[in-house]
Structure 1
Amino acid sequence: MARSAAKTPDEYLKSLPADRRAVIAAVRAVVNKHMPAGYQEAMNWGAIMWEVPLMQFPKTPNGQPLCYVSLAAHKNYCTLYLMGAYSNSAEYAALRAAFAKAGKKFDMGKSCLHFTTPEDLELDAIGTVIARYSPDQWIAVMEKSRRRR
């Protein structure tokens, strides 16, 4: 799928073909269930994002809200970006181990899991990763990583 021009997550879901709409809606529900308070769900970069609002953290490198999780449908697969797993090697290893224990393929690119159905994912482990950082904790992680550069 090309980048969406939808203005809201609900509008984005309505724009998807029925099969991908069901997949994205199911994974979105899991993300929302585990998302710590304080993140805002929005459309940005053509995908559903859970972000730290600019009012809370305006010092982003690109002037956009600080992304924590992102979810999108593409032509042949869907993606779930888990910045918390990508930025923390222990979280990444735990997520990878949970997939292996469940007998599921860990298809992770640069910070995103590729999947075609919710059953491809180890949803409990993903929920744990999502619940890991409050917005303030995520800001601290990002500021610390910037100081290292």
Structure 2
Amino acid sequence: MKSDATTPESYLNELPEDRRTVMQKIREVILENLPEGFEEVMNYGMIGYVVPHSIYPAGYHCNTDNPLPFISLASQKNYIGLYHMGIYADVELMDWFKAEYAKVITTKLDMGKSCIRLKKMDQVPYELIGELVSKITPEQWVKTYEAALKKPM
């Protein structure tokens, strides 16, 4: 569900109370653990965490006016989506996350390429999300991103 909100606070204020509480907590965990250099923005109708142009002037290859996306957080119709591009780009990180998730949450992980779907609001692995967020610096993300762009399709 895409939002027209221009700030994370206004995005959160649009949500029903049960979603707002969980989204606020996830946002707090992200902000507490996000390595220095990333910036919080509204991007693509979601709360986003990006590598700003001041660090990576080239920006996102799909639209160089936009900073390089890293993580997005959105309240979707049936779940909260945590979109972590690092998981999509790094198999070792993906494997680590899957193994750690199974240790803290008893239900099966519902995940797409970069999307972790959090469907049960009482089973959000906040500490694990914090640890995941802390694992990649902006500089490391830029290197991973550029390496993926240079791979032949």
> Which of 107, 110, 120 is 2:110 aligned to?
107
- Equivalent pair of 1:23/1:116 in contact (CA under 8 Å): no
Alignment match, 1:82? 84
* Secondary structure at 2:82 match in 1: strand
Shift in Å, 1:94: 0.8
CA distance in 1, matches of 2:17, 2:51: 30
**In 2: Cα distance, 1:124 partner to 1:106 partner:** 16
Query: How many Å apart are 1:76 and its aligned residue?
Result: 1.7
The Cα of 1:17 is off from its aligned counterpart by: 1.3
SS of alignment partner, residue 116 of structure 2: strand
Q: What's the TM-score once normalised by structure 2's chain length?
A: 0.89
Give the unaligned 5+ runs of structure 2.
none
Q: Which runs of 5+ in 1 are unaligned?
A: none
SS of alignment partner, residue 120 of structure 1: coil
Question: How high is the sequence identity, in percent, across the aligned residues?
Answer: 36
RMSD, aligned CA: 1.4
Offset from partner CA, 1:16-38 (integer Å, 9 cap, x none): 11111111101111111110011
Alignment of 1:120 onto 2:123:
yes
Aligned residues of 1:84 and 1:129 also touching (Cα < 8 A): no
2:38 pairs with 1:39: yes
Deviation track 1:90-112 (CA, whole Å, cap 9, x = no partner) reads 11011101111222421111201
2:93 to 76, 91, 94: 91
1:65-100: per-residue Cα shift (whole Å, max 9, x none)? 111111000122110011112211111011101111
The answer to whether 1:144 aligns with 2:143 is no
- Cα distance in structure 2, aligned partners of 1:119 and 1:105: 14
Displacement of 1:143 in angstroms is: 0.8
Which residue in the other structure is 1:29 paired with?
Answer: 28
Letter in 1 for 2:117: H
Count of residue pairs brought into register by the alignment: 148
SS at match of 1:121: coil
Could you tell me how far apart the structure 2 residues matched to 1:106 and 1:30 are?
Answer: 20
Which of 59, 62, 68 is the aligned partner of 1:66? 68
TM-score (norm 1): 0.92
Partner of 2:137: 134
